Amino acid sequence: MKRRIVFATGNTDKLREIREILGETDWTVLSIKDAGIRIDVEENGSTYEENALIKARAAAALAQADDIVLADDSGLEIDYLNREPGIYSARYLGEDTSYRIKNQNLIDRLQGVPDEKRTARFVCAIAAVLPGGKELTCRGVIEGRIGYEERGSGGFGYDPIFQVPELGKSTAELNEEEKNAVSHRGKALRAMREKLKEVL
């Protein structure tokens, strides 16, 4: 029987990307919802890794003994804004505020700021809790710049304002495969996939 990976996220956009990246493995990827698990944790860590571990541990406590439990904590760091919104990216301006508004607000806060000072990065930490309790974390980063307007309709969240200079496109202008090939989440998950192959 295929080994189960239970992914501790309530974000369906993340899950879509995760399934695509872990698609060709021997593991079946389930969301916590698919696995019948509900968690309600306070993400009160001070790093992406700590928050990812908080989510993974909470789900692992309710998962089957032989499940591999993973979680993702990620965010956008804008250098000019002292790396805001960072680990507070989902909560920035309120969890239920639309990304139209959040993105426009960030563009407004960078009004008059020249290209070279608009540097930013997406960061993703993936945490794993393995059967037996061993814990692993991996981090992936993509460097870019904040654009002057929203561009593209792919991806989610802050993608329309995140420009990748080498590609001349925002991450919302990439298709899923193209985004996963260069993204913070793609890099972190591929690193985790390799670590898991080594230890399992």
Q: Which of 72, 107, 139, 164 binds ligand ITT (CB under 6 A)?
A: 72
Whether 73 is catalytic is yes
Torsion 142-14-74-159 (CA) sign? positive
Q: Which of 19, 45, 156, 195 binds ligand ITT (CB under 6 A)?
A: 156
Alpha helices (runs of H) in the chain, residue ranges in sequence order: 12-21, 48-60, 99-109, 176-182, 184-199
State the binding string over 22-61 for ligand ITT (x if CB under 6 A, else -): ---------------------x-----------x------
> CA dist 99 to 102, 142, 161, Å?
5, 20, 10
Phi, psi of 7 (to 5 degrees): -100, 120
Is 11 a binder of ligand ITT (CB under 6 A)? yes
Per the residue annotation, which of 13, 34, 66, 73 is the catalytic one?
73
User: Smallest distance, Å, CB 195 to ligand ITT?
Assistant: 20
User: Smallest distance, Å, CB 155 to ligand ITT?
Assistant: 5
Residues binding ligand ITT: number (CB under 6 A): 21
For the purposes of burial, counting CB atoms within 10 Å of the CB of 32, is it exposed (0-12), middle (13-18) or buried (19 or more)? buried
Distance CA 48, CA 54 (A): 10
Is 157 a binder of ligand ITT (CB under 6 A)? yes
User: Smallest distance, Å, CB 132 to ligand ITT?
Assistant: 24
